[in-house]
Copies of this chain bind each other. A is one copy, B any other.
């Protein structure tokens, strides 16, 4: 049985292993600094389909299937799929997963969805209800821009605070049997609203939620930030990362020495012109699945706090003048189970 720890954390009693991951990304992400780590790099934004939305669903289907194949399993071995995306009504996942014929839990945590998938997948295994689950999240630059901001054809100028939605899908197979790394704990985020109303400044909108859940994780498990080899937020970008460091400094916690953000890792700042960095559900999902998972497997990282971050607005809520609430979920991943949190 898991233990509820502190205010909003869980420590797992079972060894919940991440037995495989898979990552599929778009051309731009493939050209970035992490290009060599991705399993599949697409040649264009439609991937043989006739719309961006259908392309996203194809990416979901293919990448989830790849994660299962890399685990040397068949799709029928997977007891549950947990997945979500940014498209209205989660159609990126729904149409992608339709042909996989597995029991499905659709999630929406905006760009924090991969964190939510990992947490609920781990809880499912801990409950005894499953031994193998597949978790994932996806996003698509073109489909997201069209839906949340402006049609791409308009050529609207992007402000410097804006981030670039990652095209891709990240997925992992979690299992009650397997090797390191293990999901040893989790801290589920509350919705935190900083009062930001600019849909082109999501880093700021999410920074309070990230800071809140990191602080709660450290307090719940009674840890200092240097317990972790690295603390990794999802898609705050340059603007949000600095804000998160500042917010935690005010609480007496310095994460500046062992902290990065997937939105900063995934694109080259100088040559790729994304302004504040990467974002989207796929940002943390593919960066973890490709890069950080690899670093854990090689023992270059042994204890990480992985914190996918999300901004919970819609175009309707922004048009109605609502501020943008943020949420973030923290997943503790460790190579050593016994010596862990």
Contacts and interface: CB of A to CB of B under 8 A. Distances in A.
Contacts of A322: 54, 91, 95
Interface in A113-151: 116, 119-120, 123-124, 126-131, 147
A222 interface: no
Given A105-B116, A107-B106, A128-B126, A88 B325 contact: no
B123 A320 contact: no
B190 A102 contact: yes
Given A2-B128, A103-B8, A191-B98, A88 B90 contact: no
Contact of A4 (B129, B191, B313, B314): B129
Nearest to A312: B94
Nearest to A131: B4
Give the one of A104, A320, A327 with max B CB within 10 A. Answer: A104
A88 B88 contact: yes
A154 interface: no
A91 B314 CA distance: 7
B97 A191 contact: yes
A298 interface: no
B53 A316 contact: yes
Interface in A171-217: 188-191, 193
A19 interface: no
A315 interface: yes
B188 A4 contact: no
Nearest to A79: B4
B110 A108 contact: no
A87 interface: yes
Contact of A127 (B1, B105, B320): B1
Interface in A1-58: 1-4, 8, 10, 13, 51, 53-54
A129 B10 contact: yes
Contacts of A89: 86, 88, 108, 110, 312-314, 317
A80 interface: yes
The 7 closest A-B pairs by CB, nearest first: A1-B128, A103-B188, A89-B314, A127-B127, A94-B312, A2-B128, A10-B129
Interface of A: 1-4, 8, 10, 13, 51, 53-54, 79-80, 84, 86-91, 94-95, 97-98, 101-110, 116, 119-120, 123-124, 126-131, 147, 188-191, 193, 312-317, 320, 322, 325, 327
Given A94-B327, A103-B189, 11 more contacts: A1-B127, A2-B128, A84-B108, A87-B316, A91-B317, A95-B312, A95-B322, A98-B193, A104-B188, A126-B127, A127-B127
